Amino acid sequence: MMGALLAIAAIGGALAVAMGAYAAHAPAPPDPRALGWIETAVRYQMWHALALVAIVALAARPGGRKSLWLRLAAIGFLAGTLLFCGSLYFMALAGWRAAAVVTPFGGAALVLGWVALAAHGVALCRLRGAPDAPP
């Protein structure tokens, strides 16, 4: 599963770069807000692709593969990226403003992903007995 997650993260990062390049060089869209939507989507997509890489690295540590919190964080980041960034791309590129209904659900999934990652950190502290215990 972690190999697939790493591949998905890498593809997500590549797509973020490609979308950023497209936005920089494409003709101006009819809606002046579209470039801002793409810029926001690209920024969120890239940060969360990197966060997924971090999850893969954390999962490689002892006990990491069994962490429910890491799995929930990965699910939150994947779902959030698809819903949040995807809806912004649809609004910007297809002019489909109805996609805005989905955007807050994607944002909530991203937040929940970060909360799950924080819970994993708390769980690690408890397992090691102290917040500053060496790994």
Angle at the Cα of 47 (from 71 to 69), degrees rounded to 5?
Answer: 15
pTM: 0.89
Domain residue extents for the chain: 2-128
Q: Residue 43's pLDDT band (boundaries 50, 70, 90)?
A: very high
Q: Read off the tokens for 26.
A: 């494409």
CA 83 – CA 105 distance, rounded (Å): 7
pLDDT tens string 68-111: 999 999 999 999 999 999 999 999 999 889 999 999 999 999 99
* Share of the chain residues as helix, strand and coil, in percent rounded to the nearest 5: 80, 0, 20
The closest alpha carbon to 106, from 67, 70, 73, 79, belongs to 79
Q: Tokens for 78, please give them.
A: 């994947």
Report the percent of the chain where pLDDT is more than 90. Answer: 75
